[in-house]
Amino acid sequence: MTTAEKKVEEELISSAEESNLVTKIEDNNIFDSSEDMPIPSQEIILEATAREQDASDDTVYDRTYLEKDGEEYVYRLTDAELIEKYNVLYEDAFESVVNSYNEIMSYRNQSYKSNQKGNVSNLVLKKNSKNKVIGTGSCFEIDCEFNLLNVGYTYVDLDSDGVFEIIFGILSYKYNDGLPMDIYERAFALSNGKVVKILEGGSRVNQWLGSDGHIYGFGSSGAAYGGISRLHFDKTELDGNDVGFGDIGFKEDEFLGYWEGPVHIVDPITDINEMAKLPEYRISDDELQKLESEWEAKRVKIEWLRMADYFDVN
């Protein structure tokens, strides 16, 4: 249980004791003194309380549409009116996705002469032996297999301010087996009435939603530098310009990963190169693996809306 959860639990128990509603706590159940019958467990109460706090806590995303489905958490946006509203507001985001796809496709089957100079960025090459396209890295179009109908999207209020952001993910990964379906690689926000791209990634840069309300982001700068960051979104950082590659507006509250050695930086990241050198943030490989498993276990499933459905109605 986190410190925040313990604090909420203490407040709940204190309040209940004052009103003589609670006489005992056994096996994580709270009992009503009138009938000695179990009422919702502390876990359920804490989840409900956390949702109520979202509206005033800008370090977590709005979990109104986060549901417990068996042993898993699923983000499932089903509000047709909200979807229709934001489909209109984010028309420029959909246009950006289409334009990016068309740009990639325009040089997909490129050729190169060895006696000429060339600049390489997000290189996409055709492997003639199997007549298929391969990439030297990862980008959104590669991950969706150059198929916009394999793209999913949904709306999430990333900073709980009442205005939803749009995130884009992949419905089915054919080759990138290491990437789960519940990450998102591209996202946009509304800033001063303008649609702004706040995330552009691939296998090296992506994010996911945590069941604890936090945003988690994976980033890699090479074999010795990379890991997971616990993030929160702050749209006041936006300047109206799209991000090229990476993200903007996201603040790193905590970092877990490898930075010339395993580290767990539990404070907001100011200068990771300097902070990673401090002994108080150094951990063992076993500790790193354990914490990574715990963080990744918080990743919620996303029930994506389909780009195909958007195209059908627009």
The ranges assigned to domains in the chain are 72-313
The model's pTM is: 0.74
Contacts of 221 (CB under 8 A, 6+ apart): none
| DSSP code string of 102-123 | HHHHHTTT----TTS----SS-
Rounded Cα distance between 314 and 54, Å, is 32
For strands 124-127 and 151-156, give the pairing: unpaired
Rounded Cα distance between 250 and 237, Å, is 8
Nearest to 235 by CA among 246, 249, 215, 251: 249
pLDDT (tens, 9 = 90+) of the chain, 314 residues, equals: 544 455 445 554 454 444 443 333 334 443 343 444 445 454 444 444 444 444 346 689 999 999 999 989 999 999 999 999 999 999 999 999 999 988 888 776 555 555 555 555 445 554 555 544 444 456 787 778 788 999 999 999 999 999 999 999 988 866 555 566 789 999 999 999 999 999 998 877 899 999 999 999 998 877 789 999 999 999 999 999 999 989 999 999 999 999 999 999 999 999 999 999 999 999 999 999 999 999 999 999 999 999 999 988 77
